[in-house]
Structure 1
Amino acid sequence: MTVVVRPEPRDPLERRKEALRAEAAAEQPAPETSTPTKATQIVAIYGKGGIGKSFTLANLSYMMAQQGKKVLLIGCDPKSDTTSLLFGGRSCPTIIETSSRKKAAGEEVKIGDVCFKRDGVFAMELGGPEVGRGCGGRGIIHGFELLEKLGFHEWDFDFVLLDFLGDVVCGGFGLPIARDMCQKVIVVGSNDLQSLYVANNVCSAVEYFRRLGGHVGVAGMVVNKDDGTGEAQAFAAKAEIPVLASIPADEDIRRKSAAYEIIGKPGGRWGPLFESLARAVIEAPPLRPKPLSQDELLGLFKGETVGRDVVLEPATEADMCAAEKIVRPSLEVIYEGV
């Protein structure tokens, strides 16, 4: 066997490049997939806007509380609507809004100003800036800074559930994954391309930070508004993550959700569904997902649904101009023999 020995680069920049190449070529260690051992399990839920994260979390947190778990639900969506279903349509003051108001009055924020409870579930909203007046991701970072001042790391909960918008890819919304702030992630999706595209992006983010030494894993997927066509289940199988629950596209669920009614109650029609989901969330280990390529994602759907048979036709200069393009001779000077 011939061993090629490269000379040590003298240039510091070249040495750094060599170190980066060696790091990129190194084999990654096997992922840790055991059950989290921390006293508090922090679970971040991601999904496309409008896919039903808040509906799922409100009912899930309510059921977990009825099972004897101490649960904190934190809304991390600038719309501040995570807790509205839990509180019968009422909105609670957000941490960012309350902090600004208290600061202007020279007062400190207290737990009772931002955290509220119902039937054993504790809940709060981080909030965010109004449209056009700031960065939502930066608002999330600021909100967590305020939580830390309130003693977030000393609070005694069995589970902390974080509701994050999955459409946005900036650092603020990726905070739990990038900074190992949670042990596991759950994606909420349905049998449509856009929600699965978002779910796949979240899996890609988890895989990216695992390569950088992170420990967050994907516990699984909740299929909401399931119409039985099977694309979401097929995605989960290819990404090698389990389906924790399939919530059907049922008129009774839609009507009760629109009326801000909790359906995840023991003894109710949908109680067993959320009892099973609660157990799955508690027991599911954080797995390392296998994100799909764009072609693999499109392959989950019929060709006519996603336009897979469309041919890309290159545009011409004439297409881009109202008048016919005039070709002028080049003014470039060419020197012979150079």
Structure 2
Amino acid sequence: MSDKNLPVKADDEQHGAVEVAEPIADPGLEPHEYRITDIDPKAADRAERQVATMFTLAGLLFLGACVGYFAIPRDAILEFGPLTGNANNMTLGLCLGLGLFLIGAGAIQWAKQLMVDTEVIELRHDANSSPEQKADIIEGFNEGAAESGFGRRKLIRRSLLASMGLLGLPAIVLLRDLGPLPGRSLYNTIWAKGVRVVNDVTDRPIKPSDLVVGQLVNAQPANLTPIQEESPVEYQNAKAKAAVIVVRIEPAKIRTKPGRENWGIDGILCYSKICTHVGCPISLYEQTTHHVLCPCHQSTFDLADSAKVIFGPAARPLPQLPLAVDAEGYLVAQSGFTEPVGPSFWERG
């Protein structure tokens, strides 16, 4: 610190010299005041029992959340005067909220009443620690662990570990709300032989002449619309699996996979729109490279080379839908997909 930044004590009127004041003396630390738990073993034992009780009650509340999830009907309603709410959700919220609160309160009581509370002074040091400093850090950590009493106070340790272990149970139970496992649901879509390819916005059938080289269109099967009238839920499920992208590439630039020589029409190819990583919809297309990008995790597929993965976490290429042209000149599917669509995160034996 330069002298000009220190407080001025007096000025020399003739020479303008500045005399710098002495730094403020170190006031030191106040005398340490011992807590009752430091000098009375009975008070320390009483505080330990309080902390253990909080942890134990927290564990029971976590169990209560699991029991309430299964025991209380999902459509049960609780009424508190003008306020109403779902009984199942309120039970989960109260049990989990109170349980977490008790763990926090118990940790605070433990720290304030039982952990060592002596004041320490530590000088500031460079960010890069020397070997000696690293050794001091490890030693300090070990001392802190010893001073916390975690290893010595078995009642607190066991009740805390039990409650934290039980905290995981509601999380596991709530996985049920994620819905059923996909099973083999993605092995079949509503695509079938002769089903027309239609624009997913206008619902118009697509002819090869409608597409120019470099163009990509989001599409869907023509038999999807009737499902919407019968069941909106089934419609969304079917559309989520059957959505496709149709792209036209110069035939000379296409590298056809063996066995798929007749799957395209004059450079027109059709692929599933669902990323094979975790199932995000994709359509970010780069015309010059024929690459399509998934916006979720940047998996990139080369549509000119059977949609193989060239970057990102996707595990396999986009499934390809074989195309043909019907008697009226519209694009149709030769068959359904020959492999499952969607993500590849479970066994597909």
TM-score, scaled relative to structure 2? 0.19
- Determine which structure has more spread, i.e. the larger CA radius of gyration: 2
> Higher relative contact order at CA 8 Å, sep ≥6: structure 1 or structure 2?
1
TM-score, scaled relative to structure 1? 0.19
